[in-house]
Amino acid sequence: MRSFRRSLAIAATVAVVAVAALSTAGCGGTAAQVDPATELSKSAAAMKAINGFHLVYEVHKPANAKPGSGLEIARVTADVNSEGSMTAVIDVTQGNVPLKLNFVQVGDKQYLQMGAWQEIPVESSPVGKLTLGTSTVTILQQVTDAKYVGQESKAGTKCYHITGSVNAEAVKAIAKSTTTTAPFPVDIWIGVKDGYIYEVDINGAATTDEPEGTWRSIVLSKHGASVDIKAPI
């Protein structure tokens, strides 16, 4: 009888260990198994290897924020190719009046549709030297104090959620300008299976003109899409 009970106990222990092992495998790794620095590095390499992607960049402000008096970017909906060229619809506000601008960037040249397409100098462009495609990938290589939070779903894809901070210079390439030198907290979601970026959230006001509570999101999709972007004129 004792031998029978001992056999049952051993079988139960083996079953528990097996279930635990299967559960861990199904979760895609525990915090101890996921090294955030490694995942960030792998993601940067994966993103550089694809032909292009779709992104939506958005500036989020508190509901009670007062509208600015100048031209402000609210959202950029764009397709980006591996060469860094971009075609986009830019939602801006000018004195609280919403406007939509069609925009193309090929190499160092920028074009804006104002009735007819026109080539515009970077210094007078609504986006300036904004490089959303390459800068989003560059952020992965500049994250400090990276921590693995856990797994979450983005657009139906299992992702590693990683937090950390990036310096103001890295954010400047995305926010167009910064007047702070303090690091920005970031949240990054990287596909468990493909290593692609699915979302980057940058927390904090970039300039003294932005209200406290401002943050930015960059949501990526259509990874690997081939985007042929040519100058419109």
Instruction: For residue range 65-100, list pLDDT tens digits in order.
Output: 887 777 888 999 999 998 889 999 999 988 778 899
Bridging pattern class, strands 52-60 and 71-81: antiparallel
pLDDT attached to residue 11: 37
pLDDT attached to residue 117: 96
How is residue 141 annotated by DSSP?
Answer: T
Number of neighbours of residue 103 by Cβ within 10 angstroms = 22
pLDDT attached to residue 12: 37
pTM of model > 0.85: no
User: Which parts of the chain register pLDDT below 50?
Assistant: 1-28
pLDDT attached to residue 31: 59
What is the 3-class SS of 12-32, one letter each residue? HHHHHHHHHHHHHHHCCCCCC
Q: Which residues contact 64 (CB under 8 A, 6 or more apart)?
A: none
Rounded Cα distance between 3 and 102, Å, is: 79
How is residue 173 annotated by DSSP?
Answer: H
Domains with residue ranges and CATH for the chain: 35-64+77-82+129-221 (2.50.20.20)
pLDDT attached to residue 3: 41
Q: How does the average pLDDT of the chain come out, rounded?
A: 84
Among 43, 26, 50, residue whose Cα is nearest residue 161 = 43
